[in-house]
Amino acid sequence: MNEASQLPTLVALCAFALAFVFGAVAQRANFCTMGAVSDVVNMGDWRRMRMWLLAMAVAIAGTTALAAAGKIDLAKSLYTGAQVPWLSHVVGGLMFGFGMTLGSGCGSKTLIRIGAGNLKSLVVLIFFGVAAYMALRGLFAIPRVNLLDPVRIDVARLGAKTSDLGALFAAAGLGAAAKLWLPGVAALALAAFAFASREFRASREMIVAGVVIGAVVVGGWYVSGHLGYLAEDPATLEEKFVATNSARMESFSFTAPVAFLLELLIMWTDASRIVTFGIAGVLGMMAGAGAMALATRTFRWEGFASVEDLANHIAGGVLMGAGGVTALGCTIGQGITGVSTLALGSIVTFFAIVAGCVAALKYQYWRVARMA
């Protein structure tokens, strides 16, 4: 199975398997990043937020260990480039955060809810994927490319080759070892915050989910960046990351892959289109959530309650799709996968998504109060 011709199948199967675990665990533990923010704002309940932060801690620790062992090179990922389009991260993150609130969940939660029988999320997914594709290659790409992406910070001017915090701290004179000790400190700090709560420590399901989801992201890096890496592609004699849409090392993200899944379905007879790491991840997430919902007898068909409900979910899908591409990722793609590299842009996006979600919650409260 390690021959170059079979590597795309191996990569896709591994991505599907890892995402299947992700979907099953997330369905069981009700892992939802929008729900995590909503719980904090509405009820002061931090348990689901701590689960998200624990997943980040595990992902940071595992990703750093893989890089230190020479199994992957994070400089070849999408997140750590020297050019940081900070305005795209901010605007895209705000759009995504606002949209995921209107759409009742982020990209990963949308896939999980589809697996559990939610037809509303199926509608969200369609608009999400179309808007994401439009932001990649269509109408929405015009303002992204011409107005947002050119506004950048070049960390090379600071003496750093990449935009992860370890490289930035090393460039500031704290030594090359900063690329190791800083992620360790960050992972320990996040884990310590997560376990500081007695209520969270008593939530065994949430602890297991946080650990497993973080580990799945690490597994994604290993599959794409090590198993699927060719130092010399026999066809081109150049290095290649097999079965990735970005042609770079990837782990899990659920915005652009949804767009590429729609493209694959539309252009199925085009032999050049294959099931990539990201597409397999989307399919695996839905399958895992569906299997868990059936096993726990929580599978339920659910539709829209009103026209306004439909409109909100359509708007949410569009904002998430366009925002996720603009920000180069979603609550998983940037909030865990990107943060696992400690990339500056990923950290900015994480806070922008949270801010957008809070703004949408406040907007919804205002509408309810106005209609009362």
pLDDT tens column, 258-291: 999 999 999 999 988 999 999 999 999 999 999 9
| pLDDT greater than 90 at residue 301 | yes
pLDDT score for 272: 87
> Which is more confidently placed, 175 or 366?
366
The mean per-residue pLDDT over the stretch 245-251 comes to 94
What is the pLDDT confidence band of residue 1, given thresholds at 50, 70 and 90? Answer: very low
The mean per-residue pLDDT over the stretch 61-77 comes to 96
The model's pLDDT over 18-60, given as tens digits with 9 standing for 90+, comes to 999 999 999 999 999 999 999 999 999 999 999 999 999 999 9
| pLDDT greater than 90 at residue 198 | yes
pLDDT score for 3: 65
Residue 154: enclosing H or E segment and its boundaries? strand 153-154
Claim: this prediction has a pTM higher than 0.85 = yes
What's the mean pLDDT when you consider all of the chain? 95
pLDDT score for 226: 96
How many structural domains is the chain composed of? 1
Q: Which domain holds residue 71?
A: 4-371
Tokens of 310: 């439909």
The backbone torsions φ and ψ at residue 246, rounded to the nearest 5 degrees and listed phi first, read -85, -10
**What is the rounded distance in angstroms from the CA atom of residue 146 to the CA atom of residue 127?**
23
**What is the rounded distance in angstroms from the CA atom of residue 219 to the CA atom of residue 19?**
10
pLDDT score for 295: 97
Residues with Cβ within 8 Å of residue 330, at least 6 apart in sequence? 96, 106, 107, 108, 253, 254, 255, 320, 324, 353
What is the pLDDT confidence band of residue 339, given thresholds at 50, 70 and 90? Answer: very high
| pLDDT greater than 60 at residue 299 | yes
**What is the rounded distance in angstroms from the CA atom of residue 276 to the CA atom of residue 273?**
9
